[in-house]
Amino acid sequence: MASPDIVLMHPPSVMDFRRKTILSGPVSDLIPSTPVFEMYPIGFTTIASHLESVGYEVRIANIASRMLASDRFNPDRFVQSIDASVYGIDLHWMPHVQGSLELARMIKKHHPDSAVVFGGFSSSYYHNQLIKDFPQIDYVLRGDSTELPFELLMAAIESESSMADIPNLTWRSGGRVAENALSHVPETLDDIAVDYGLLVRKVLKYRDLTGHLPYADWKANPMSIAVGVRGCTQNCLNCAGSCDSFARFLGRNSPAFRSPQLLAEDIARAEEYIKGATFVVGDVRQAGKSYAMEFLRELRERDVDNEVVLELFTPADRSFAKEVGSSIGRFNIQMSPETHDEQVRRAHGKPYTNDGLEKSVGSFLEEGCGRFDLFYMIGLPQQTRESVMETVEYTRRLHKVYPGTRLRPFISPLAPFIDPGGNAFEHPQANGYKLFASSVQDHARLALMPSWKYILNYETVWMSRSAIVDSTYAAGLGVNAIKRDLGLISHEIADAVEERINRASALMDSIDTIVARGAATSRELERLREQASELSECTVCEKEELDWSTSSIFASIPRMVGALLRKR
């Protein structure tokens, strides 16, 4: 088998997570991945699709997923076994910082003459520091669209030519950091290649299913993603994907959209391979009403059978809900009001009312929405413990207005890190935040702390780290009880979640006692390792509550085979 030209590698959050005592807590309860954050970014797929289209052989290696799948998997030995001229590592969000740096070190140890390339939001933010302070990193590609710059970098490495004209590149030149212009910022996403069959072909070629899985549970709960936008019109305070952050650090002053026709076609092509939900990234109304209506018309013409999950950034009117209901056979809605408190929501950057929110819920439920998920957050500006518990009670009142099992509330902490690049990180004092980490090294150090209380890179004027932790466990118990009382989950599931929350809270107290004695590396912590690992997933809810589809990967195999045969 020929060696790949490039391997795109995704690290775990902490490389030695299997040997460390870390109570990660509910930091990943409301996303598909585990606390190891094994879900690699969609950019892996678009970069691989582009590079393959111009003749490069690309392999994706999800190191995190393979480490979760088998205790016998040795990442160091695996890295040594794969020979490529270029290795790409994502540092898209800061939870991966320790794992990313350690993975790059492994690569340089075994392949000193190969190039190590970093990319992603956090890489773009810290690009200068990554090149200056970490010799295991050769290049950083900045921005949200690095498909073409990556092609140019590959060609320059191959021909040993100058790097000076490659857009978006930060590199080492003559012992100094060189920063090329961030000039490749496409105005549309219509030239982005999305090859949904790529992963299927790579799994067959490299006989490596686990290493190509987007996240550990994907086999049981397969999901595809359709990207309609890069950039954002919203300005949420703590988000690195806010419009201010995009303008400051990613060179994007306005969103780039994929045409309604191509976005609908992406969803239809995903259905050719996957029997499961397709999540559409970004609120399709960001580009305006006409765009959203055209997208829905295009989707209606394609008669998609898979579930389609749409995001709402702001309340939607009845006419939009009606159009969604008439265009998509099976659809779900996700919305993140963050809090019931309109003042807190406004401070966070979402200035809409509960009345508008509630009318949206009612409209979509009446139009046949399969599920309407509402996500609430702990750690917001002006938010107190009392406000958090009032949010919990608000979810109960909302269910009295809209009874049934289709409205699903979830609550979790803003953890583990406030995003570098967001306004809360850039102007912490002005927004009521105190930061415990500012540099790459600071965040890598926090990632190794024994519990998520000490991993948090912030606290607020209104809530200390301890208060955020205590409020999270209390709110988790409250929402769990509401779901049980309303029949959203069974009594057995509710009892199991309640037990886990109480055990996690007690374990947090034990870790606090050890840390207070200055013994954070002691044998006492080692004895808590297994318990911490057990209680670091599904803390405030059962993971299955998030599943959209009941189909496993086995239901998709006939589709995958058929699609591959048709494209021969």
Asked if 401 contacts 359 with a C-beta cutoff of 8 angstroms, the reply is no
Q: Quick check: 145 pLDDT over 90?
A: yes
Task: Give domain limits for the chain.
Answer: 6-179, 216-553
Asked if 94 contacts 443 with a C-beta cutoff of 8 angstroms, the reply is yes
Q: Quick check: 555 pLDDT over 60?
A: no
Asked if domains 6-179 and 216-553 share a fold, the reply is no
pTM of structure: 0.94
Q: Which DSSP helix (H) or strand (E) runs through 560?
A: helix 557-566
CB atoms under 10 Å from CB of 15, counted, come to: 24
CB atoms under 10 Å from CB of 430, counted, come to: 9
Q: Give per-residue pLDDT as tens, 440-451.
A: 999 999 999 999
Least confident residue range of 48-52, 524-528, 543-547, 548-552: 548-552
Write down the pLDDT at residue 430: 97
Query: Which parts of 71-122 are beta strand (E)?
Result: 86-90, 115-119
On average, the pLDDT of the chain sits at 93
What percent of the chain is modeled with pLDDT above 70?
Answer: 95
Q: Quick check: 557 pLDDT over 70?
A: no
As a three-state string, the secondary structure of 492-548 is HHHHHHHHHHHHHHHHHHHHHHHHHCCCCCCHHHHHCHHHHHHCCCCCCCCHHHHCC
pLDDT band at 545 (very low <50, low <70, confident <90, very high): confident
Q: Quick check: 524 pLDDT over 70?
A: yes
CATH of 6-179, one of 3.20.20.80, 3.40.50.2300, 3.40.50.300, 3.40.250.10: 3.40.50.2300
Measured CA to CA, the distance from residue 447 to residue 100 in angstroms comes to: 12
CATH class of the domain at 216-553 = alpha beta
Write down the pLDDT at residue 248: 94
pLDDT band at 558 (very low <50, low <70, confident <90, very high): low
- The structure tokens listed for 165 are 């004209």
Measured CA to CA, the distance from residue 372 to residue 362 in angstroms comes to: 10
Measured CA to CA, the distance from residue 497 to residue 483 in angstroms comes to: 11
Helix, strand, or coil (residue 215): coil
Q: Quick check: 156 pLDDT over 70?
A: yes
Beta-sheet pairing, 115-119 with 229-230: unpaired
Q: Give per-residue pLDDT as tens, 245-301.
A: 999 999 999 999 999 999 999 999 988 888 889 999 999 999 999 999 999 999 999
Least confident residue range of 36-40, 123-127, 155-159, 388-392: 36-40
Write down the pLDDT at residue 221: 80
Write down the pLDDT at residue 32: 82
